[in-house]
Structure formats: structure tokens, C-alpha cells
Amino acid sequence: MEFSKRMDRFGDEIFAALNEKKVALEAAGRKIYNLSVGTPDFAPAPHIQKALLDAAADPQNWKYSLRDLPEMTEAVCAYYKRRFGVEITPDQVASCCGSQEGCGHIGLALCDEGDTVLLPNPCYPVFIAGAKLAGAEPWYYPLTKEHGFLPYVADIPEEVARRAKYMIVSLPANPVGSVGTPELYAELVAFAKKYDILIIHDNAYSDIIFDGAEGHSFFNTPGAQDVGVEFFSLSKSFNVTGARISFLVGRRDVVAAFKKLRGQIDFGMFLPIQQAAIAALTGPLDMVKEQCGVYQQRRDALCGGLRSIGWDVPNSHGSMFVWAPIPAQYKTSMDFCLALVEKSGVLCTPGSSFGPLGEGYVRFALTMPVAEIDQAVKAIAESGILNG
């Protein structure tokens, strides 16, 4: 059978290859420290679990939902007011099955074949996949060490900006751990207005920001609601990654187009999951702040620990990831990843899987307690992999 040529646009899924290596080593009796996949190891709060279980006990809630419950969209609006101080209305909210799915599909509602879109490099892979699914042509703006791994719109050529349909911005950034500033967001709004570009802000990690900084919404910036939408996820803040609860929030015409698209392929979010979302959005936020503190302790243990054994890894400023340059003696990030897990049992993700400018780096996920991170650092030190 000949498959769609569309599939030729995509490479192999790197996490599957890494998981095969992990399984093989575990089968051989090796201790593996899995710091490759960014899924929280914390439990959801009891009131969130209870809301889902109570709703699932009602047989009526097992039917198609066909819509977002008004109580849920109103809860998103109330949360934006409480958490970010931002006013939005229910017609500015649409659910999706996780930001991964939302980012993968939104290009279908926005782009025609051959349209140009601006994507960060390195970036989360679904940004690239979503553009390619829509038949758009990605133009990669670099996230470099010289600019703090932040978007630098002054370097985007004017002819590229004039033909661009949308620009994805992800802050705090996966995989590089950079955090936006009010000045940067103001630059992005001005840039978008000048060139009539839609900003799509991926805001999955606004509650995981370190060293006393405060996470914000893109819409804290004046004028942002005129030029942008934001993917707002419950996954990382509330530890519900498997439930796939996310929302597109912002400009009404874009949200309406996204709803229309999703109406062709989906019958709505499972009602018990909607009830869990309402519980998360309206419940206490103390544990979210406490969890951020734990992530910072893990960041300090990993980055400080690696520096103490001779690997110069800078601190992440936000997200649940650390972006580390590979030792000079290794030619590729994939070679280093495979050597690292083979020699030390520590599994991370090669930077090359996040785009060409990710080459030369690896990403660690802060998904283990401090004591286990200390053990992983010790295993790296004892492996001799940093000795050349």
C-alpha cells in the first residue's frame, strides 16, 4: 500500500526509540534514571480526583458532551481573572484535548498550502508537525544563548514577516527553560500589529518559574488580545497530563474558527473530565505554588550537582526542563544520549529532536525527587563520561 506523501514530512518519533533503549537496559537489570519525558510525578489534588470520580459514577455523563459546559468556560474566565488579573469572556474560550492536540490542529484552521509560519528553533516538536500538517512552510527564528534563548524579532527579515500568517511563542520555553519579560511581550505585540501576524502563545508552564519570578499570561500585555491566542493547559500545574485538559483562549475570531474545526473531528471533552477541570480551576492554588518550590529544589540539585562534577550546566529559569550543552568530545546529541544511558543509566532527550539548533544540547526533565536526582548525578560522575 502507498501511504500519504504527507507522512514523508515527519521524521521518526524520538521518544519511542529512547523508550526501547530504556526497556532493554531495564530487562538486563540496569537501574535507569528516566529524565527524558516531561510528565509530572506528583499526584493530582484529591478534590480534582473526587470531582472526576463522582461525575463518572453518573451514567448520563458517559454520553457525548457535544459542547464545553458553560460552567467550565466560566471557570476558565474566573481563573484568568484570579490568577492573571485578565478579563476574558466565554466566547474567548475553547477546549481541546491537550495543548499538543491544539497546536497540532490550529494550523488547519489558519493556513492555506504554502503559507509561512514563524516557529522557534529549538522548539517543542508538535509546533513543527502542526505547521506541516497544515501544509504551511515553517520559517525558524533562532533561540540562541546570546539572546537568552528568547525570541529576537529584530532579526526576522521584513520580507518574511510580511508573508507570515502566525508566530508561535512558547514561554516559559520547552526545551530551553527561558522566561519572557513584559518588555519582550510588548515587542511581540508591536511586531504582530505591524505585520498583521497572529501570535500563538503556548503557556503550559506559567506556574513553574524560578527564583522569585512570577508567571504571567500573554494577555497581561496591553494589546495582546487584539493579536493573539494562548494555549492554557492544566497538565503541568495540576498534574493531570493524561486527562488532556487544555484551552485555546483569546481572539474571538480565531477561537470560533478553532471550534468549527474541532467540531468536524470531535464530539467534545468527556464530561467527568470537564468536572475535574472545573474543580481544578475553582479550587485552592496553594499546592501549585508549593510544587513550584519543589521543582526549583530539583533544578538546583540537578544543575548545581552537574556543575559540581565538572559539567557546566546553567540554571533553568522556568518550565520543568534543563537545557544542557553536551561535552565537547561528542559529535551529536543523540550519540551522547545513548552513551549517557549506557554508561550511567541516566536517560535524557537529544536536543536535535527539537530542531536543528537543538543539536549540541540535551534536555533533562525534572521528574524525580531530589534524592534520586542526587543519585543520578553520582552515577554520571562515576561513569567517567565527562572525562573525555
Is residue 354 predicted with pLDDT exceeding 90? Answer: yes
Q: In the prediction, which pLDDT does 49 show?
A: 98
Per-residue pLDDT reduced to its tens digit, 301-322: 999 999 999 999 999 999 999 9
Confidence of residue 12 (pLDDT cuts 50, 70, 90): low
CATH class of the structural domain 46-282 = alpha beta
Q: In the prediction, which pLDDT does 13 show?
A: 63
Is residue 9 predicted with pLDDT exceeding 80? Answer: no
Query: What percentage of the chain reaches a pLDDT higher than 70?
Result: 98
pTM: 0.94
Is residue 232 predicted with pLDDT exceeding 70? Answer: yes
Per-residue pLDDT reduced to its tens digit, 74-90: 999 999 999 999 999 99
Is residue 20 predicted with pLDDT exceeding 90? Answer: no
Q: In the prediction, which pLDDT does 23 show?
A: 86
Q: In the prediction, which pLDDT does 21 show?
A: 81
**Helices and strands counted in the chain (H then E):** 15, 12
Q: In the prediction, which pLDDT does 19 show?
A: 78
Is-contact 386 380, C-beta < 8 A? yes
Is-contact 344 373, C-beta < 8 A? no
DSSP 3-state assignment of 242? helix
Is residue 364 predicted with pLDDT exceeding 80? Answer: yes
Is residue 345 predicted with pLDDT exceeding 80? Answer: yes
Confidence of residue 62 (pLDDT cuts 50, 70, 90): very high
Per-residue pLDDT reduced to its tens digit, 86-143: 999 999 999 999 999 999 999 999 999 999 999 999 999 999 999 999 999 999 999 9
Is residue 266 predicted with pLDDT exceeding 70? Answer: yes
Per-residue pLDDT reduced to its tens digit, 210-229: 999 989 999 999 999 999 99
Q: In the prediction, which pLDDT does 18 show?
A: 77
Q: In the prediction, which pLDDT does 388 show?
A: 67
Is residue 324 predicted with pLDDT exceeding 70? Answer: yes
Q: Quickly count: other Cβ atoms within 10 Å of residue 314's Cβ.
A: 14
d(CA 318, CA 321): 8
* Beta strands 349-350 and 361-365, pairing class: antiparallel
**Residue 4: which H helix or E strand, with range?**
none
Q: Where are the domains of the chain?
A: 5-43+287-387, 46-282
Question: Which residues have C-beta within 8 Å of that of residue 297, sequence separation ≥ 6?
Answer: 370
Nearest to 78 by CA among 224, 216, 282, 225: 282
Rg of the Cα atoms in the chain: 21
Torsion angles phi and psi, residue 141, rounded to 5: -95, 135
d(CA 327, CA 357): 16
The predicted model gives 329-355 an average pLDDT of 94
Q: Report the CATH fold assignment for 5-43+287-387.
A: Aspartate Aminotransferase, domain 1 (3.90.1150)
Per-residue pLDDT reduced to its tens digit, 147-196: 999 999 999 999 999 999 999 999 999 999 999 999 999 999 999 999 99
**Pick from 23-32, 272-281, 287-296: least confident:** 23-32
* Beta strands 198-203 and 33-34, pairing class: unpaired
Confidence of residue 11 (pLDDT cuts 50, 70, 90): low
Higher-confidence residue of 149 and 8: namely: 149
Q: In the prediction, which pLDDT does 38 show?
A: 87
